[in-house]
Amino acid sequence: MKTWLIPYVKLHYKGLLISILLGLLALASGAALMFTSGYLISKSALRPENILMVYIPVVAVRTFGIARAVLHYLSRLTSHDTILRVLSSMRSRLYRLLEPQAAFIQSRFQTGKILGVLSDDIDHLQDVFLRTILPSVTALGMYGVAILCLGWFDWVFAAMMAVYLFFIVIFIPIISLWFSRKKTKKIKNGRHAQYQMLTDGLLGIKDWMIAGKPTDFMKDDNNKDQMVANMEQSIRNQRSYRDFINQLIIGAMVISMVSWSSSMVHEGGMHVTLIAAFVLVTLSVSEAFLPVAGAVEQIPEYHESIARLDSINEDEKTDKEGLNHLFIPSTAEIKLSNVFFKYPGVDDWVLEQISMDIPQGRRIALLGKSGAGKSSIAQLICGSYSPTKGTVTINGSDATLFGDSLFEFVSILNQRPHLFNTTIANNLRLGNQQATDQEIIEVAKKVQLHDYIMSLPNGYNTQMEESGQIFSGGQQQRIALARILLKGSPVIILDEPTVGLDPKTESDLLKTIFSTLEDKTLIWITHHLAGIKHMDEVIFLENGKIELQGSHQELLNTSQRYRDLYYLDVPPSIRKMVHM
């Protein structure tokens, strides 16, 4: 609440206040329209001697009718404009939270959870303004105005009507909220389970087919859908009962108003023409309060949405507490000391007793089969996780304390860099939004892409095709490398960037990487030993432990196992090509 609502209320309070004021005036115009209409009908029924005797009520009906429509439109226009501005700020903030963590987003959050946040939770924060805060505040304001106006005639009767309205505006919404809280939480969890199921269905459909269990997948998916549908139907039934009770209360209010106004006429306290006016205004005012129960009922959904956003926002909260305001240097000395690590909810160790020193400019290769722990070391260095035991420090400070700031000086070149559907220049400028055209050209020359880009129809202004199809796999990696050069990060993590490339392209790309990143700290995660000669230290991991460690030449001289791996993985022709 303090993070995702209050700051935006403070920032856009003027627009919200104007919207509430316009909404209150629209409700007041609607009430005045019904009041003058009732008076006009009653007055006309008495057949006045001259039309001028009802001229003012006729004009008033037209005025209030037009005013209600105009004010309602202005209220909606102002509220939607303000809320869209709020949403724009929220979405930008959410992007800023997720973007630095994109490389390891799946290690920190479930994909289904991210889909749920992006598709549901931000929209629910839109609804908290449009469907809860604004209608509720406006209704409470109208509640006070209505009781004050009625009290001008009779305070005793005004108090009785206040009790009626109390049930509609406060008591029934609270009861409805109490009943729906648990059901809403189950629906919300069910929806996110659906998102996760959708993710598994899209990304893992081939595995389901190979396993021969698509029917099981569909059955599980249908069960989740049915559970959500049942809970939603239960909520709808509850709302029907609530609306029925509200209508009974409104009926009691109308009967009470007829009785009171009739007695007032009988006692000479008001003219007979006002009976219809008071009855009609009662219906108008009461209808304005009915949305409050539905608005309050949505609060559990907002709470769940805010909780999920807060879980993503945890690093930013840490930053506000001052932990992330550590000095971000231009160099980084990375140290892992006696690190043990296992993922939450998993019993087996992923890493055991890992220690390594990586001063600025050192080149480290992490070798090992899948599951050996290579990527886990990178995630610990990036602060995505804390070690279960031991420490991971950068310049003497715990890596997790840097939060998202860590990604200001750590860059990642992974297997599949994404190229966006915009110009080549904009894709390169992703590394540094303030980069000049000349700087872009310089880095393109360094990664040996300039000549190819200039051969395209519009040069650097050429539009990328979908997923960068105008570039080969090696060229796409060079685009990503150029981004890193523009960013200027002192630490680069190479997450198997040459996977899927042919030997010649792999060799050329590795030469470019090593030549352009000479002064950078390189942490190279790889299965492949081509180009390993360029690394200062080779660390071979197996079952989460360091089995071999040393320079390439040292391991060739001292380890038969390493020699066998190297000569098996890198044939003479490739060795010659890489070492040239």
Tell me the pLDDT tens digit for each residue of 112-125. 445 555 555 666 66
Taking the C-alpha atoms of residue 73 and residue 522, their distance in angstroms, rounded to an integer, is 60
90 alpha-carbon distance from chain centroid? 8
Q: What is the pLDDT of residue 426?
A: 85
DSSP secondary structure of 301-369: HHHHHHHHHHHHTHHHHHHHTTTT-S---SS--EEEEEEEE--TT--S-SEEEEEEEE-TT-EEEEE-S
Where along the chain do its domains lie?
Answer: 6-312, 334-579
Q: What is the pLDDT of residue 574?
A: 52
Per-residue three-class SS string for 503-542: HHHHHHHHHHHHHHCCCCEEEEECCCCCCHHHCCEEEEEE
- 313 band by pLDDT with thresholds 50, 70 and 90: low
Tell me the pLDDT tens digit for each residue of 398-424. 887 776 667 777 888 877 777 777 788
Taking the C-alpha atoms of residue 49 and residue 45, their distance in angstroms, rounded to an integer, is 12
Q: 512 near 431, Cβ under 8 Å?
A: no
Name the class of domain 6-312: mainly alpha
- What is the pTM for the complete model shown? 0.51
Tell me the pLDDT tens digit for each residue of 343-382. 877 788 889 999 999 999 899 999 888 878 888 898 888 8
Q: What is the pLDDT of residue 580?
A: 46
366 bridge partner residues = 525, 539
Cα dist from 194 to 109, 115, 201, 216, 499, whole Å? 16, 10, 10, 15, 33
More confident residue, 165 or 119: 165
Q: Are strands 363-367 and 351-358 parallel, antiparallel or unpaired?
A: unpaired
Q: Which CATH architecture has domain 334-579?
A: 3-Layer(aba) Sandwich (3.40)
Tell me the pLDDT tens digit for each residue of 62-85. 999 999 999 999 988 998 888 888
Residue 430: which residues within 8 A CB-CB, separation 6 or more?
420, 483
Taking the C-alpha atoms of residue 24 and residue 141, their distance in angstroms, rounded to an integer, is 7
Taking the C-alpha atoms of residue 556 and residue 120, their distance in angstroms, rounded to an integer, is 55
| Mean pLDDT of the 462-482 span | 79
